C-alpha cells in the first residue's frame, strides 16, 4: 500500500531536525570534554608524566582504561585539591588564632620619678618700655627696624633740628650779653659806682639767660632719640616725614636677656621651691622644645584672693621664644627615688580603676594597680606589679583576662638575630671556600 506524498515530506523534515539536534549536542559534549582535559593537563603536568610512563608498560586495552582513569582522576583531583586548600586555609586561621593576639610589651623597671608642678604662663622681658617723642617735630631719619639688636645710647631716630639750633643760638647770644653786663656791674660795685640792688638784678637776669640756654641744649638733644638700654626693637610706630607731637609713641624696646616667666603656685607647693632651683620651660608651639631655666625670685607674700605665690623664672640660654608666647613651666617639688615604673601606654582606665595586662607564659592576666607619681612617659606603680614584670603597651583593645598573646617586639628581635646569624654563617662559608 503506497504512502501519500503529503505525509512523507513532514516526516523527512522531522528526521533531519532530529539529526541536526543530535549532532549539535555531540559537538557541545566534545568541546566540553576537550576543555576539561585541557584544564586538567595544565594543573597536573606531573601526573601526566607518570601516567605516560604507565601507558608504555601496559597493553592497549589497559592503556585505554588507564587513560580514562587518569583523566577522571584529574577532574576529580581539581575538586578535591580545592577542598584541601579550603581545609588548609581553615587550619591556617586556627593556627593564627592559636598564635595569640599580636601585642607589644615592656618590662617594669626602677628609676627616680619627680613630681612636677606644671603651670601655664607667657614670656616676658626683663625690661620693656615704649620710647616716646619728647619734642614735637618732623621725623628726618629712622635708623633701626623691628627686630634689630641695639645698644644703650644708640641713635634710633632723628627729628628735624633746624629750628631748635636757631633758638639755641639766640639763647647763647642773650646769655653771653647778660654775662658781660653782669661782669661790668660787678666791677662797678667794687668801685662803689653802683648799688647792690642793681648788682642783684643783673645777676638774676644772667642766671635766667643761662638756664634758658641749658633748656635749649636739652631740647636740641631731644631731636635725637636714643636707646635707654640694650635690647631689641619690638615695634616701630612712625615713618620718615611724619610730624609727631609731644609724647607720641615712637618705638617699643625690650631686653631679651634674660627672658622671664611668672607662674603662680599654691602656697603649699611654693614652700618646696627655692631660688636657683632648676626649672624646665616647654614651648607651647608646634616644636614643643624644652629650655633650661631657674627660679629667679619667690614672692614673700601670698595673694589673698587666689591663695597663690608668684614665682619668677628666668631663661638665660638663647631661645627662639617671642615675648607674649605661651609656655608650660615644670617645677620639681618632690622626687621618689628607685620607684617601680612602667610606660604610660600600659595603663588602662576602666570604671574609675586602673589596670594593666601582665604577661604570664603565652597569655596575659588583667591586674588592678595603684599608681603614684608620673611624668611624660612613665608612671610609678605602688601596688600590683614587681620589678621585671612585662606588661602590654600596645594592643590592649583586643585583650581580656587569660587571652593568648604574641609579643611583636620579641618576634622582631628574634628575626633580627636570625638575620645576623645567617649573615655570620655566610661569611664563614665564604671564608672556608677561600
Fold of 102-112+338-413: 2.40.420
pLDDT in the model for residue 8: 58
Right CATH for 130-248 from 3.40.640.10, 2.40.50.100, 1.10.3720.10, 3.40.50.300: 2.40.50.100
Mean pLDDT throughout 177-196?
92
Taken as a whole, the chain contains a residue count of: 434
pLDDT above 90: residue 29: no
Q: Provide the pLDDT for residue 40.
A: 57
Segments making up each domain of the chain, as ranges: 102-112+338-413, 116-121+251-335, 130-248
- Residue 415 pLDDT > 60, yes or no? no
Average pLDDT (12-23) is 76
Give me the pLDDT at residue 62, please.
40
The model's confidence at residue 47, banded by pLDDT at 50, 70 and 90, is very low
Answer yes or no: is pLDDT of 26 > 90.
Answer: no
pLDDT of residue 376: 81
Per the confidence metrics, is the pTM higher than 0.75? no
- In this predicted structure, which of 224-238, 286-300, 344-358, 411-425 has the lowest mean pLDDT? 411-425
pLDDT at 298 over 50: yes
Least confident range of 26-40, 99-113, 185-199, 405-419: 405-419
Mean pLDDT for 404-420 is: 63
Question: Would the pLDDT of 37 be above 90?
Answer: no
Chain mean position to CA 227: 39
Q: What percent of the chain has pLDDT over 90?
A: 59
CA dihedral 152, 157, 163, 166 (to 10 degrees): 40
- pLDDT score at 411: 54
What is the structure's pLDDT at 426?
Answer: 47
Cα angle 175, 181, 182; round to 5 = 90
More confident residue, 285 or 324: 324
* pLDDT value of position 378: 93
For residues 342-349, give the mean pLDDT: 94
Q: Which of 380, 376, 369 is nearest to 336 (CA)?
A: 380
For domain 116-121+251-335, say whether CATH 2.40.30.170 is its number.
Answer: yes
Alpha-carbon distance 196 to 226, whole Å? 46
Residues 137-177: tens digit of each pLDDT: 999 999 999 999 999 999 999 999 999 999 999 999 999 99
Check residue 421 and give its pLDDT: 52
Q: Mean pLDDT across the chain, nearest whole number?
A: 82
Query: Per-residue pLDDT for 77 more than 70?
Result: no
What's the pLDDT score for residue 344?
Answer: 94
The pLDDT value given to residue 237: 96
Q: For residue 397, with 0-12 CB atoms within 10 Å meaning exposed, 13-18 middle and 19 or more buried, which class applies?
A: exposed
pLDDT at 284: 85
Amino acid at each position: 500500500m503506497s504512502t501519500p506524498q503529503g505525509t512523507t515530506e513532514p516526516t523527512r523534515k522531522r528526521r533531519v531536525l532530529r539529526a541536526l539536534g543530535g549532532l549539535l549536542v555531540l559537538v557541545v559534549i566534545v568541546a566540553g570534554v576537550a576543555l576539561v582535559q585541557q584544564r586538567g593537563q595544565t594543573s597536573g603536568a606531573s601526573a601526566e608524566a607518570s601516567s605516560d610512563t604507565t601507558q608504555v608498560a601496559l597493553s592497549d586495552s589497559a592503556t585505554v582504561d588507564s587513560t580514562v582513569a587518569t583523566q577522571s582522576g584529574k577532574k576529580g583531583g581539581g575538586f578535591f585539591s580545592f577542598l584541601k586548600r579550603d581545609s588548609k586555609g581553615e587550619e591556617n586561621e586556627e593556627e593564627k588564632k592559636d598564635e595569640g593576639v599580636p601585642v607589644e610589651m615592656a618590662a617594669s623597671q626602677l628609676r627616680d620619678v619627680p613630681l612636677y608642678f606644671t603651670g601655664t604662663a607667657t614670656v616676658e622681658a626683663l625690661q620693656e618700655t615704649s620710647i616716646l617723642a619728647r619734642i614735637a617735630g618732623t621725623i628726618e631719619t629712622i635708623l633701626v627696624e623691628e627686630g634689630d639688636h641695639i645698644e644703650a645710647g644708640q641713635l634710633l631716630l632723628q627729628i628735624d633740628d633746624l629750628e631748635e639750633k636757631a633758638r639755641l643760638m639766640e639763647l647763647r647770644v642773650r646769655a653771653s650779653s647778660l654775662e658781660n653786663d653782669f661782669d661790668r656791674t660787678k666791677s662797678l660795685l667794687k668801685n662803689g659806682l653802683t648799688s647792690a640792688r642793681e648788682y642783684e638784678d643783673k645777676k638774676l637776669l644772667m642766671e635766667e639767660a643761662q638756664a634758658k640756654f641749658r633748656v635749649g641744649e636739652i631740647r636740641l638733644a631731644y631731636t635725637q632719640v636714643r636707646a635707654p638700654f640694650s635690647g631689641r626693637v619690638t615695634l616701630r610706630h612712625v615713618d620718615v616725614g611724619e610730624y609727631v607731637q609731644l609724647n607720641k609713641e615712637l618705638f617699643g624696646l625690650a631686653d631679651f636677656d634674660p627672658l622671664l616667666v611668672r607662674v603662680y603656685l599654691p602656697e603649699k607647693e611654693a614652700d618646696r621651691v627655692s631660688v636657683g632651683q632648676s626649672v624646665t620651660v616647654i614651648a607651647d608651639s608646634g616644636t614643643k622644645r624644652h629650655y633650661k631655666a631657674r627660679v629667679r625670685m619667690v614672692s614673700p607674700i601670698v595673694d589673698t584672693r587666689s591663695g597663690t605665690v608668684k614665682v619668677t623664672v628666668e631663661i638665660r640660654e638663647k631661645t627662639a621664644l617671642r615675648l607674649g608666647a605661651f609656655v608650660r613651666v615644670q617645677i620639681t617639688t618632690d622626687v621618689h627615688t628607685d620607684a617601680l615604673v612602667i610606660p604610660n601606654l600600659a595603663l588602662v582606665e576602666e570604671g574609675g580603676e586602673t589596670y594593666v595586662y601582665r604577661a604570664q607564659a603565652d597569655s596575659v592576666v588583667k591586674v588592678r594597680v595603684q599608681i603614684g607619681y608620673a611624668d611624660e612617659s612613665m608612671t610609678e606603680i605602688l601596688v600590683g606589679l614587681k620589678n621585671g614584670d612585662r606588661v602590654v603597651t600596645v594592643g590592649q583593645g583586643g585583650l581580656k583576662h587569660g587571652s593568648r598573646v604574641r609579643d611583636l617586639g620579641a618576634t622582631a628581635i628574634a628575626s633580627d638575630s636570625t638575620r645576623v646569624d645567617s649573615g655570620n654563617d655566610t661569611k664563614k662559608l665564604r671564608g672556608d671556600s677561600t
